[in-house]
Amino acid sequence: MTVRPPPGVPLPEIVTVANRDLIDEAADLRAALEDFGNNPQPGCPWLRDDAAVSVQAGPEAQGRATLLLHTRHQATLISANAYDHLVTLGRVLGGDGAMPLFSHQSVSRVVCEAAVRFAWLMDPEISSEERIVRGAALLYDSADQRLKGVQRLSAQDLGQQVFQALLDNCTAELNEAEKLITGAGLTFGYSRDGKRRSRLEFASANVSVPLQLIVTELMAGLLIESPSWYNIGSSVAHSSYWGLREVSKSRPDGPMELRPRVLDAGAAAESAISASALIMDRWGRCFGHDPSARVQRSRERREAIDALMVRATRSGWVYIPTEPPGHESSAR
């Protein structure tokens, strides 16, 4: 559902600025990923990782080299997911002269989650061994979650043959991930009761990594400007009443009247821009580059949106006008 102002009434400036800045930010993100990635500098973490898996021989060393490839493949896909949703957010916020009621919040949330996962995985400050273990933990958790998802399906609805084929495929994927991990010299750690695998360990490097990330904690540590909005925005992702009713100007016993909150649109744009800057910072430093100039442009975009949010708050104007006098609502 989108909301379009009545004829002759433009979208709020905060929405049009967010649209422009998000499209520009996405272009900068794509350029940064390509420019940095195509030009690794001597001694950078990326090349150190290469060296760490090439100096040792034997099947375990080869297994760690393979895990590094999987780690980088995951990071590349995560950054592509962030870029895709960043572009989409720019388009839905005023791209066609309208804006959504809710979806800008959930789209921005995806950008943020992708960014903190990427930053955790490609942190230039960690050792090569820890990066490999982090990548292995994500690889195992991905296969494990996929298998659990299939196990929740109904064999009766799918048909036993189709269900079994899916189950066999996902089980094989998890077994292959486990084989690769243990073959690389990593071991599983267990919960206190010994019943659940809870972490991956590389004893000789003194590295231990949890098998499941807590994204909310990553947000609080890596996107410090946005965790409060991220938590509030989760109400839309989960369709919680307390979040959805924010766009309702009607009483429960009256006709439905929905108007988007432009402040939420600004917050969604700001958070996504900060997430993009986080990815550029981590990727640039992994390749030995100084990403500060690109990150500064992201900061300036966020500040421009923030100034408009402050203006809107002080004026008391929060909703897009969707009903000129005597006309029906243009929400659709």
Q: In sequence order, what DSSP letters do the residues of 232-277 get, joined into one string?
A: HHHHHHTT-HHHHGGGB-S-TTS---B--BHHHHHHHHHHHHHHHH
Residue 146 belongs to a domain? yes
Domain of 20 in residue numbering reads as 2-315
Residue 176 belongs to a domain? yes
Using a pLDDT cut of 90, give the percent of the chain over it: 62
Residue 20 belongs to a domain? yes
For the chain, how many structural domains are there in total? 1
Q: Among candidates 219, 233, 222, 242, which has minimal Cα distance to 266?
A: 233
Token match 């933990």: residue?
137
Top pLDDT among 229 and 211 is at: 211
**pLDDT average, residue stretch 291-298:** 97
| Global confidence as pTM | 0.89
Residue 99 belongs to a domain? yes
Residue 142 belongs to a domain? yes
Using a pLDDT cut of 70, give the percent of the chain over it: 92
Top pLDDT among 228 and 148 is at: 148
**pLDDT average, residue stretch 28-46:** 97
Residue 332 belongs to a domain? no
Evaluate if residue 325 carries a pLDDT over 60: no
**pLDDT average, residue stretch 277-302:** 97
CA distance 39 to 138: 27
Residue 324 belongs to a domain? no
Residue 328 belongs to a domain? no
**pLDDT average, residue stretch 145-163:** 91
Q: What is the pLDDT of residue 323?
A: 47
Lowest mean pLDDT among 17-26, 114-123, 155-164, 279-288: 155-164
In this prediction, residue 328 has a pLDDT band, given cuts at 50, 70 and 90, of very low
pLDDT digits (tens, 9 = 90+) for 84-124: 999 999 999 988 888 888 889 999 999 999 999 999 999 99
In this prediction, residue 249 has a pLDDT band, given cuts at 50, 70 and 90, of low
Token match 């969604």: residue?
268
Evaluate if residue 315 carries a pLDDT over 70: no
Q: What is the pLDDT of residue 330?
A: 42
pLDDT digits (tens, 9 = 90+) for 38-91: 999 999 999 999 999 987 778 999 999 999 999 999 999 999 999 999 999 999
Q: What is the pLDDT of residue 56?
A: 77
Top pLDDT among 239 and 137 is at: 137
Residues across the chain: 332
